[in-house]
Structure 1
Amino acid sequence: MSDAYLSEEHIQLRAQVRAFALAEIAPRVKAMEAAPGSFDRDLAALIARQGWIGATIDPAYGGMGVGHLAKTIIIEEICKISGAMGAMLQASQLGAAKIIHYGSEEQRRTWLPSIAEGSCLPTIAVTEPASGGHVLGMQATGRRRGKHYLLSGHKVFVGNSHIGHVHGVVVRTRPGSRGLTAFLVEADTPGLSLAPYQPTMGLRGFSFGELLLDNCSVPVTNMIGEEGDGLAIAYSSSILYGRPNLTAVSLGLHQAIVDETARFASERTRFGAPLAEMPTIKHKLGALQSRLMTARLTAYHAVRLLDDGQPCDPDLINSKYVNVQAARESASEAMNIHAAVGLQTNRPLERLFRDVQHTWAPAGTGDIQLHRLAETLLGTSQNQWSQRLASVTPSGAKHPSTSCA
């Protein structure tokens, strides 16, 4: 499927990740499902040690430097087995983006090698209870006191919240659109705490919680970029990593849904023949396959443009919208094909159906994606982050490597 986009190295990487996921992740899925609200720290650490968080980190800092298409393949393969662990992986890759694009040379040399080797899980904390996707509506504050900033506020829906080692926190340091600033806040910093974790519908095993900041003292040297760069850091990270990462999560879950449904329809019999031979069911299966193929082409095309340094913000936005919509539609159709059997918790589809619902909101709901696409259509879109940050977006499209660096 879409092999024309893939090099031999990409194909080898896919096989490598798939083998790992089947051997190391699959045996633990049942236990994660049985314990909502808990996190398999050991498994997260094992995945991190494969070096895949460093997919887009330059080899000069210990990363793989294989680009966004390779990153998509990695996330996709993990999500076929466990959406929770795929979400963990992509959240860490998203957390690295702010340092890759805006970190000082000292920050890059301090943090990127440990992120690449898997000993440090980074996060990004932007969303707040009262603002949601309206980033400029955030109320968390940062006040300078000598060589430190005191951060106070409440961040929600932070991927890897309870297992992350360093949080990229965006707060308001002054009024206006240039009033947001980002900081690196280590998890053990006094004044930073975690709210009690609230279990969610799906992605069991993935930490997706809240950070509480109470006069959390952070050195000025932990500021990412300049004061006032917070909005650019949040938006660029969301466009260049958040959208394609959630696209990859959706794609992996989508493939698992289609595979499981094809297996079920082939094994289940009605009227003395496999369910898949019934014309109405066969047509539904064909629709699943068509939707999946279209979604994958959209996903791979967008990240290939990103790897090639082409302006592709609308393509990244569209790939997230298309893939999430397609995966959710296929999940519903798969439930229709399974009928009551799909509700049984001992079958993968019930878990996959719940997991795929989690792809709608992160990195902007479908409504936000449509809003941004309308701006492109009307010529009112103001930024092309893919073009502006091309020089610090490692490309692995031409010569990818399967090294775990």
Structure 2
Amino acid sequence: MDFELTQEMKMLKEMAYKFAVAEVGPVSQECDEHEKYTPEIRKKAAANGLVGAWIPEAYGGSGAGILGNTIITEEVSKVDMGIGLNIVASGFGCESILNYGSEEQKKMYLPPICSGEKVCAGAYTEPNAGTDVSGYKARAVKDGSDYVINGNKMFITNGTICDFMVAQCITNPEEKKHNSFSLIIVPADAPGITRNKIHGKMGIRASDTAEIAFEDVRVPQSNLVGKEGQGFRQLMHFFDITRIMVSGQALGISEACLETTIKYVKERTAFGAPLGSFQITQMKLTEMAIRIEALRGLVYKAAWLIDQGKPDYTLAAMAKFYGGQTAVFCANYAVELHGGYGYIEEYPVQKWYRDAKILELYEGTKEAEIMTIGRALQAR
């Protein structure tokens, strides 16, 4: 059993962090304050092989696998999770194209993602159905050689800046619920699409989030991903994979909280002694460090197993659940140990505190992860 990263992965890890410090760090506060998306950083990241790194070289990616992509996510999230999301999630939804799409679809849609030229969105969540994937209502009705799509989507990452999206729609309403859905590729500029940016998010404010409406949107039936009626299963597989990306975000932001706080408590004095000399401070740092070390093992193993062709999606759900908990825990302690300074924008811990909470909400709430894990345990 070897817990050491390969030399290639170590180099990728170092390069991703240096890129984030140099390119993301200087604009982090401005983008957070003004909810500013960062296309120029996405394109620079693509030139360095950091976009769509999980995509095989045959389709324009760097072929770094899920582990490599997770490491990139970890490192950029140490600096800014929102801008980091603009980099690592610019192909969000394309996982289904790679796994289930036709060869023509893969060649058409994946290379422009990796080059930074185009952006994808996963149009899944709806105003009244998030975790309840089987409760989605958007419909795609056949008309000649086309699908005509009607419905609404909510909280869509990359929603207003994407070039195309992969949408979950009901195509076979007469079938049982889980056999009624299909994934369909929809050009973002198709007539009948209305996209509105959601303003005022608590965190990840540099990431674009939108509400999308489809009104008689017409797309060719050749845009179907895989087989009709398989959309629910395809989407579950998608979440099984992207949960690991989210847990990588959690690992990165937790590590940033710890390292920044260690530096602060060594410099800050209270009652005539360094803040770090007090046992209660050491307890908090220790608890953060233990949780981070445990999380790293979960995240890296879950990612590595997928690359080895032996995926353990229950482990991925564990990483996502524990990742959200750990990030919120570490961000909270970071603010506490910074005291009043942790509550002002001059110090990044207040931003990390705001950013961390989404990790318990998107890509499956922590309650959904409990259901996934609990069912798997009882199915043994």
- Which residue identity lines up with residue 272 of structure 1 in the other structure? G
| Superposition pairs of residues 82-121 of structure 1, within 5 angstroms | 82-121=80-119
Aligned residue runs from structure 1 range 6-405, under 5 A: 6-36=5-35, 38-175=36-173, 176-240=177-241, 242-379=242-379
Distance 1:25 1:290 in 2: 28
Give the residue type in structure 1 aligned to 2:228.
E
Contact 1:141–1:173 (8 Å) recurs in 2: yes
Question: 1:332-368: per-residue Cα shift (whole Å, max 9, x none)?
Answer: 1222222222111211000000001111111100100
Structure-1 separation of matches of 2:143 and 2:46? 36
CA offsets 1:225-283 (integer angstroms, 9 cap, x no match): 1111211221111101x200110111111111111111111110113221101111112
CA contact (8 A) 2:262 2:285 kept: yes
2:184 partner letter = F
User: 1:5–1:300: 8 Å Cα contact kept in structure 2?
Assistant: no
**3-state secondary structure, aligned to 2:200:** coil
Q: Distance in 2 between matches of 1:174 and 1:198?
A: 35
8 Å contact from structure 2 (residues 197, 209) kept in 1: no
Does structure 2 conserve the Cα–Cα contact (< 8 Å) formed by 1:331 and 1:353? yes
- What amino acid is aligned across from residue 80 of structure 1 in structure 2? K
Q: Cα distance, 1:324 vs. partner? A: 1.0
- Check the 8 A contact 2:268/2:274 in 1, yes or no: yes
Q: What per-residue deviation string (whole Å, max 9, x for no partner) do you get for residues 264-306 of structure 1?
A: 1111011322110111111211111111111111111111111
The one of the two structures with greater contact order (alpha-carbon pairs below 8 A, sep at least 6) is: 1
Contact 1:49 1:119 in 2 (8 A): no
| Counterparts of 1:199 and 1:50, CA distance in 2 | 32
- How far the C-alpha of 1:318 sits from its partner, in A, is 0.5
Structure 1 residue 3: deviation in Å?
A: 8.7
SS in 2 for 1:109: helix
Query: Cα 1:6–1:70, aligned 2, differ >3 Å: closer, same or farther?
Result: same
Equivalent in the alignment of 1:4: 3
Distance 2:178 2:188 in 1: 28
Cα gap change, 1:3/1:291 in structure 2, threshold over 3 Å: closer, same or farther? farther
How many residues of Structure 1 are paired with residues of Structure 2 in the alignment?
377
Inter-partner Cα distance in structure 2 for 1:75 and 1:377: 29
- By how many angstroms is 1:174 displaced? 2.0
* In structure 2, C-alpha distance between the alignment counterparts of 1:33 and 1:364, rounded to whole Å: 24
8 Å contact kept, 2:54–2:62: yes
SS in 2 for 1:213: strand
The amino acid of 1:230's aligned partner reads: G
What is the CA–CA distance in structure 2 between the aligned matches of 1:90 and 1:134, rounded to whole Å?
Answer: 25
Distance 1:150 1:49, change over 3 A: farther
Aligned 8 A contact 1:94 1:237 in 2: no
Q: 1:5 to 1:163 in 2, by over 3 A?
A: farther
Residue identity opposite 1:122 in structure 2: C
Q: Distance in 2 between matches of 1:294 and 1:357?
A: 19
- Specify the alignment match of 1:385 in structure 2: none
Cα distance in 1 between the residues matched to 2:339 and 2:345: 13
Distance in 2, matches of 1:212 and 1:50, equals: 35
Q: How far did residue 103 of structure 1 move? A: 0.6
Q: C-alpha deviations, 1:374-397, integer Å up to 9, x for none?
A: 1101118xxxxxxxxxxxxxxxxx
Structure 2 residue runs of 5 or longer lacking an equivalent are none
- The alignment partner of 1:94 has SS state of coil
Question: How far did residue 224 of structure 1 move?
Answer: 0.7
> How high is the TM-score relative to the length of structure 2?
0.96
Letter in 2 for 1:21: A
CA displacement at 1:50 relative to structure 2: 3.0
Q: 2: distance between equivalents of 1:4 and 1:297?
A: 9
Question: Percent of aligned pairs with the same residue?
Answer: 29
Distance 1:333 1:162 in 2: 35
Which residue identity is paired with 1:296?
R
Structure 1 residue 136: deviation in Å?
0.9
* TM-score relative to the length of structure 1: 0.90
8 A contact 2:327–2:359 mirrored in 1: no
Q: Distance in 2 between matches of 1:40 and 1:93?
A: 15
Q: 3-state DSSP class of the match of 2:125? A: coil
Aligned partner of 1:389 in structure 2 is: none
C-alpha distance 34-311 of structure 1, shift in aligned 2 (>3 A): closer
| Displaced runs of 4 or more, over 4 A | none
